[in-house]
Copies of this chain bind each other. A is one copy, B any other.
């Protein structure tokens, strides 16, 4: 279920839900698509279990380094991955809460429907996320992710 406090994005990928899930949970795969190019993801530590922490560091020529930290909430292989920056390792409250990402990997005839819901506390947070470029950023990342997942399945 979504509300006006959510931003959403959907993309069809010609790869199985299991492969798309792998792209999100294996650091060496995540690093290949997580930053919109020409940005680069130079570090990724993913403790993929409820209460486990994630850490990523991206580098952009125009912005410098951007680090992201958070906590996994729901871990359902090949199906769903939910994480939030409102919490850190062991579900500890974080200093800079902003949004929860609810990623769903739905099996289709062609492969997978990849569905992102970004949940926010307020209309102000939604607006800020839109202004930060949610649709372009997550859209580019979804395209880059699809390329990796499809290349894996082509072997």
Contacts and interface: CB of A to CB of B under 8 A. Distances in A.
Interface stretch (A33-41, A86-94, A146-154): A86-94
A121 B95 contact: yes
In the complex, the count of this chain's copies comes to: 2
Nearest to A1: B90
Contact of A102 (B5, B90, B102): B90
B73 A91 contact: yes
A87 B100 CA distance: 9
State which size class the interface on A falls in. Answer: 20 to 34
Nearest to A93: B121
A112 to B, nearest CB: 22
Contacts of A86: 86-87, 93-94, 97
A51 interface: yes
A7 interface: no
Contacts of A125: 93
Pairs of residues from A and B, 3 with the lowest C-beta to C-beta distance, nearest first? A93-B121, A92-B119, A91-B100
14 contacts: A51-B74, A51-B82, A73-B73, A73-B91, A84-B87, A84-B91, A84-B93, A86-B87, A86-B97, A90-B102, A91-B102, A92-B100, A92-B119, A92-B121
